[in-house]
Amino acid sequence: MKVAFKYIEEDMVRKIITSFIRPPLEYAAVVWNPHLKKHVKKIERVQRAATRWVPSLRNLSYEERLKRLNLPTLEERRIRGDMIMMYKCVTGKEEIDKEDYIIRESRRSRGHTHKLQKTRGDKDVKKFSFPNRAIERWNQLPDKVVCAKSIHKFKEMYDKVAMEDGTIRA
């Protein structure tokens, strides 16, 4: 991609990352989400290299480059994707057989009305599967977010809450 352009501006890199780089890296992220740091670093390295294409950003740290480009890390995007998928599962917008892994919390004492129970898993396959990694974050979301009337409202409110607590940038 870089070879096709003589000079690359911030706006161009942002469009290249969101249009060409992110989609293949985020494909099936709900199913396969790296849990080992070495795998997370390897995937993040692709976006890290692309942000260096802009000459004025080269001497900044990766976090500063992302902030200037108004982009989140790929890990933040995967977390957001998990929360969106969990919303779809809980509200029935995703047609899947969820009885085995999405169990409503029966002894809810605090938090929102859509709390879920985390299942126990000893093996990595179960421990780092979509439901187990997403339920803990889901249960921490405020009631106004999980009770959103539509997926668009959920995304809007999730982004707002995540930006406020510094979990995500965009």
Query: At which residue do the structure tokens 């990766």 appear?
Result: 62
How far apart, in whole angstroms, are the C-alpha atoms of residue 129 and residue 61?
32
Instruction: Average the pLDDT over 90-118 and give the result.
Output: 69
How much is the pLDDT for 151? 94
Instruction: Extract long-range pairs of 56-61: CB within 8 Å, 24+ residues apart.
Output: 56/10, 57/10
Mean pLDDT is lowest, of 58-72, 94-108, 128-142, for 94-108
**47 touches 73 (CB < 8 A):** yes
How much is the pLDDT for 47? 95
- Domain residue ranges in the chain: 2-71, 76-164
| Angle, in degrees to the nearest 10, between helices 151-164 and 74-91 | 140
- Calculate the average pLDDT of the chain: 84
How much is the pLDDT for 87? 92
Q: pLDDT at residue 22 above 70?
A: yes
Q: pLDDT at residue 8 above 90?
A: no
Q: What is the pLDDT of residues 29-87, one digit of tens each?
A: 888 888 889 999 999 999 999 999 999 999 999 999 999 999 999 999 999 999 999 99
How long is the chain? 170
> Binning pLDDT at 50, 70 and 90, where does residue 115 land?
confident
117: which strand partners? 103
